[in-house]
């Protein structure tokens, strides 16, 4: 029997309602021209709402997005597009990916390089394949074989770095050159444009949600829980829900063994969390926040919670009972709310966030079962 470890909670003393810049709908218009684009479901899960003691819970289900089992293709595709646009000096009008591919012929041979815990790297490799380029992907030691094979299925070689995700990022960065574009979702001094475009790409998720709520005649959520790795998705969420007129409270969720954003909030500045970063929530196994995401997330999230893997397993099982397939990282948002609203500090948390039995909650299912064997073990109760 796995024993849970105590969670860590931090109410953000730097929280602000000042909105960061928004990308608008340009990324969404781009995504609509990609093959296989469709709006992902916004699903109501009343049994989970009852379990959390809130009025309703909506799930933005990103377990299948543009033919891949995670949302990451949205950020990777927009970042690739913007980076290539900068490289060629602008595109002629285009309607399809084939149009783009033809315009990009003079750049070949060209390779994309990226570090990943699985989903971002596979998305970068998919874009390389669609556009007729190569890709080289780096993963940290301990990456699940199923995730490596997923990347390789896109035609990209995978190199396992004997170290953490952050060390894989450093390795990928050395590939930059005339014939190689580094497509990273985290930033460092002198490398900020591409990760900012990754963040902008994720805005498509939020605009879809807004449209879906409007079509259903539903108001914006009262409480939003979002996964935090280096902070890219959380930055997009903050940029959207800190728009004028929106009052949503935002909770950021991390694994206990990779709580880099929470630790940085406690320190009042970016800090690194030593490895190993070996949570089953693999997409969140990051030791240092993105310097680009830090000013957005550190002022836009109201409360940070770091949870043990057992909470993620619990979340996966609850979601499976509702017919929702969520991998370990995909269930992390629910894992955080299970800790906050069913854990030992629930009374204080409910009061501080204004949570009642009518509160409307939004969660993101950021991936499907990207490691099918692990998923079957956990959901079957053997985890």
d(CA 314, CA 159): 32
Which residues 6+ apart lie within 8 Å of 200 measured at CB? Answer: 23, 26, 27, 75, 78, 236
Q: Pick the catalytic residue: 117, 166, 308, 371?
A: 117
Establish whether 117 is a catalytic residue. Answer: yes
Q: What Å distances lie between residue 20 and 64, 106, 183, 227, 261, CA to CA?
A: 29, 37, 23, 19, 18
d(CA 80, CA 223): 32
d(CA 15, CA 295): 11
Beta strand residue intervals within 248-328, DSSP E: 249-255, 303-307
Q: Pick the catalytic residue: 60, 61, 72, 309?
A: 72
Q: What Å distances lie between residue 281 and 79, 285, 345, 373, CA to CA?
A: 24, 7, 23, 15
d(CA 356, CA 362): 15
Beta strand residue intervals within the chain, DSSP E: 8-11, 42-44, 56-61, 111-115, 134-140, 158-161, 180-182, 223-227, 249-255, 303-307, 360-365
What are the catalytic residues? Answer: 72, 117
């Amino acid at each position: 029997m796995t024993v849970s470890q105590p969670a860590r909670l931090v109410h953000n003393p730097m929280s602000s309602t000042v909105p960061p810049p928004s990308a608008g709908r340009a990324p969404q218009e781009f995504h609509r021209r990609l093959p296989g684009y469709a709006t992902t479901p916004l699903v109501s899960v009343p049994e989970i709402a009852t379990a959390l003691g809130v009025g309703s819970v909506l799930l933005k289900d990103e377990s299948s997005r543009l033919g891949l089992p995670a949302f990451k293709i949205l950020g990777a595709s927009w970042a690739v597009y913007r980076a290539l646009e900068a490289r060629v000096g602008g595109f002629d009008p285009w309607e399809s990916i084939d149009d783009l591919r033809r315009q990009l012929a003079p750049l070949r041979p060209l390779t994309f390089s990226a570090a990943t815990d699985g989903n971002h790297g596979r998305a970068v490799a998919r874009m390389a394949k669609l556009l007729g380029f190569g890709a080289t992907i780096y993963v940290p030691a301990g990456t699940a074989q199923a995730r490596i094979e997923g990347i390789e299925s896109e035609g990209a070689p995978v190199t396992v770095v004997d170290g953490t995700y952050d060390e894989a990022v450093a390795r990928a960065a050395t590939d930059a050159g005339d014939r190689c574009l580094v497509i990273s979702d985290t930033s460092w001094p002198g490398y900020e444009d591409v990760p900012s475009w990754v963040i902008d790409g994720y805005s498509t998720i939020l605009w879809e949600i807004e449209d879906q709520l409007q079509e259903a005649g539903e108001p914006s959520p009262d409480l939003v829980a979002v996964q935090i790795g280096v902070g890219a998705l959380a930055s997009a969420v903050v940029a959207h829900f800190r728009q004028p007129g929106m009052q949503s409270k935002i909770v950021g969720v991390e694994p206990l063994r990779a709580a880099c954003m929470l630790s940085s909030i406690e320190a009042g500045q970016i800090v690194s969390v030593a490895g190993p970063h070996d949570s089953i929530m693999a997409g969140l196994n990051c030791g240092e926040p993105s310097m680009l995401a830090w000013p957005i997330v550190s002022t836009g999230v109201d409360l940070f919670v770091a949870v043990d893997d057992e909470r993620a397993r619990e979340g996966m099982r609850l979601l499976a009972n509702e017919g929702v397939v969520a991998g370990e990282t995909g269930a992390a948002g629910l894992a955080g709310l299970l800790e906050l609203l069913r854990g030992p500090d629930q009374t204080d948390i409910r009061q501080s966030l204004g949570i009642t039995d009518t509160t409307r909650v939004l969660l993101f299912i950021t991936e499907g079962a990207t490691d099918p064997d692990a998923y079957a073990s956990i959901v079957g109760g053997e985890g």
